[in-house]
Amino acid sequence: MKGFAMLKIGEVGWIEKEKATCGPMDAICRPLAISPCTSDVHTVWEGAVGERHNMILGHEGIAEVVEVGELVKDFKPGDKVIVPAITPDWNSLEAQGGYAMHSHGILQGWKFSNTKDGLFSDFFHVNDADGNLAHLPKGMDLKLAPMLSDMVPTGFHGAELADIQYGDNVLVIGIGPVGLMAVAGANMKGAAHIYAVGTRPKCTEAAKFYGATELINYKEGSISEQALALTKGVGVDKVIIAGGTVDTFSEAIKALRPGGKIGNVNYLGSGDTIEIPRLEWGVGMGHKSINGGLMPGGRLRMERLSRLVSIGKLDLAPLVTHTFEGFDHIEEALYLMKDKPKDLIKPVVLI
C-alpha cells in the first residue's frame, strides 16, 4: 500500500509499505477524508518527539471499515467511522486510572503519526476498534467531519483543563483551529468575556463567530499587559493556551488572577524549560495552577462531540478553509499547514 510519510526529521515523501494485519480487537480502515495537523509539522520539521523513519503521517480523518477482528462487536466492513487522533489501549491501568491518553506510558495513547503509521495511506490499522472508532452520524458533511478527530476534542479539552465555570473571564492564547475550538468550548461552558489572541484575519473572524468578545494582537504588545488592561488590572479567571511557545507561559501566569487556572493543549515543539515568573506566581503561593494535557481520545468523546455537530450546536464550517479532492493532494495540504498562509485555518483532502 501507498502512504505519505515522515522519512526522517525534516523530510517527507511517498512510500510503499505492507498493509497492516488485523488483530482480534482491531480494524483495518481506508480513509474517506483526512486533514493534516500542526502536530505533524512539529513532529516532522521540529523533530519534537525525536527521530522517526518512514512513518506514515496523519491522525485526523473519517474512514470506511474494511476488516474487523473476530472480537469486534460494534463495527463491520462497510461502516463509515470517525477516527480519533488518540486511540488508547482501554484495558490499560492508566485508562482505569482516568488517563487513557497515557495508556502504557506518557502520550502513548497517541499512536497515529507518533508511534505507528497514520491515516495518510491506502489503509490503516486501528487498535481496540470498539473503544476507539465512532460511527459517523448520518448526514454529516464528509468535509467537516475530520475536525472531530482532533480539533474539536483538543480545543474542548483545553476548556476542561482550564476548568471553565459560568461567568469566567477567559483568555484563549492562539486561535488556529485548536484555539478556535477552545473558544467554542469555553463559550459552551459559560464563559463571560473571551479574550482571543491571534492575528490572521480568517482566524479572528472565526473567533468572533465562536464566541470571542475581544481580540488581542500578540504582535502589538505583551499579551498579559493587554489582558490586564481589559480586566482593569484584575486578571483573567482562566487561560487556555493553544498557540505560542515555551515563553507563552509567563504571559499566561502574568495575565491570571490569584486562584486562576491555565489549561494548555499547545504542543511545545522546541525549548527546554518553561519559565514561570516568580513574582507574578505569588512567589510560589499565588494559587495559579497549570494543567497541560493530550486530548483524551476514544469513542465516547467522539460520539458526544459529534452529537453537538449533528444537532447544530457546533458549526464546523468556518474551520475548513481549503478542500482538495484526491489522495495525491495530501502533500500540498500538509505544506499548507506548515506554511500557514493568511487565509488558512484548516485544509481537508477528500479521497
Q: What is the DSSP string of 232-264?
A: TTS-EEEEEE-SS-TTHHHHHHHHEEEEEEEEE
Least distance (Å) between residue 169 CB and ligand NDP: 18
The C-alpha atoms of residue 141 and residue 320 are separated, in whole angstroms, by 11
Contact call for residues 10 and 43 (beta carbons, < 8 A): no
State the amino acid at position 296 in one-letter form.
Answer: P
The C-alpha atoms of residue 156 and residue 133 are separated, in whole angstroms, by 19
| CB nearer Zn ion, residue 156 or residue 195 | 156
Interface mask (CB under 5 A) for Zn ion, residues 129-158, using x and -?
---------------------x--------
| CB nearer Zn ion, residue 86 or residue 351 | 86
Interface mask (CB under 5 A) for Zn ion, residues 36-75, using x and -?
-x-x------------------------------------
| CB nearer ligand NDP, residue 123 or residue 324 | 324
The C-alpha atoms of residue 129 and residue 125 are separated, in whole angstroms, by 9
Which residues make Cβ contacts (< 8 Å) with residue 245, sequence separation at least 6? Answer: 268, 270, 271
CB closest to Zn ion, residue no:
37
- Nearest partner of 300 among 73, 98, 84, 66, judged by Cα: 84
SS3 assignment, position 5: strand
| CB nearer ligand NDP, residue 165 or residue 199 | 199
The C-alpha atoms of residue 95 and residue 115 are separated, in whole angstroms, by 18
The C-alpha atoms of residue 217 and residue 347 are separated, in whole angstroms, by 24
Decide if residue 161 touches Zn ion (CB under 5 A). Answer: no
| CB nearer ligand NDP, residue 27 or residue 197 | 197
Which grid coordinates belong to 64?
Answer: 470506511
Least distance (Å) between residue 21 CB and ligand NDP: 28
| CB nearer ligand NDP, residue 174 or residue 286 | 174
Label residues 336-349 b or e (16+ Cβ within 10 Å = b): bbeeeeeebbbbbb
| CB nearer Zn ion, residue 72 or residue 159 | 159
Least distance (Å) between residue 183 CB and ligand NDP: 11
Binding site for ligand NDP (CB under 6 A): 37-39, 42, 150, 154, 173-179, 197-200, 203, 218, 242-245, 248, 265-267, 294-295, 340
Least distance (Å) between residue 265 CB and Zn ion: 10
| CB nearer ligand NDP, residue 31 or residue 153 | 153
Calculated CA dihedral for residues 208, 209, 213, 217, nearest 10 degrees: -20
At which residue does the C-alpha cell 510560589 appear?
284
Least distance (Å) between residue 276 CB and ligand NDP: 17
**Which one of the spans 81-89, 99-107, 164-172, 321-329 is the region binding Zn ion (CB under 5 A)?**
81-89
| Residue 8: contacted member of ligand NDP, Zn ion, none (CB under 5 to 8 Å, by partner type) | none
Least distance (Å) between residue 264 CB and ligand NDP: 8
| Residue 175: contacted member of ligand NDP, Zn ion, none (CB under 5 to 8 Å, by partner type) | ligand NDP
Q: Contact positions toward Zn ion, by CB under 5 A?
A: 37, 39, 85, 150
